[in-house]
């Protein structure tokens, strides 16, 4: 059974720092991996999707990497801003198009 773990559960850093969020999964047979952002009381916003055959994806200040063999993905945020404060969720998709979710990392960027 696929399990997804996100570390740390919470992170607080000063504005301007670069940071890394971690996601690990137990079964490497995944279709893709997605990173999402959720603001308090809001829906989810898709940030990046990495297909199982890809190693990384970039969007602006965000870079996500995928190492399927070791069951790991990282989300790198460069030059963090207070507006980046949110909960970041990692999810892996199986061959039935279902997402298995991590519990999230709550990120606070201090001005």
Partner 1 sequence: SQTIHQWPATLVQPVGSPLSLECTVEGTSNPNLYWYRQAAGRGLQLLFYSVGIGQISSEVPQNLSASRPQDRQFILSSKKLLLSDSGFYLCAWAGDPSYEQYFGPGTRLTVT
**What does the binding site for partner 1 look like in residue numbers (CB under 8 A)?**
31-32, 34, 36, 41-46, 49, 51, 89, 91, 93, 97-99, 101-104
Of 84 and 93, CB closest to partner 1? 93
CB atoms within 10 A of CB 92: 30
Of 80 and 90, CB closest to partner 1? 90
- Strand pairing partners for 104? none
Of 26 and 45, CB closest to partner 1? 45
DSSP letters along 37-77, please? Answer: EE-TTS-EEEEEEEETT-SEEEETTEEEEEETTTTEEEEEE
Alpha carbon distance 17, 2 (integer Å): 33
């Amino acid at each position: 059974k696929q399990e997804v773990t996100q570390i740390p559960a919470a992170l607080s850093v000063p504005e301007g720092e670069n940071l890394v969020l971690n996601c690990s999964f137990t079964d490497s047979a995944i279709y893709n991996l997605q990173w999402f952002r959720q603001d308090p009381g809001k829906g989810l916003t898709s940030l990046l999707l990495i297909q199982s055959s890809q190693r990384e994806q970039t969007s602006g200040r965000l870079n996500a990497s995928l190492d399927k063999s070791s069951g790991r993905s990282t989300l790198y945020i460069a030059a963090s801003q207070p507006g980046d404060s949110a909960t970041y969720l990692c999810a892996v998709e199986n061959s039935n198009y279902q997402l298995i979710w991590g519990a999230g990392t709550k990120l606070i960027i201090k001005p």
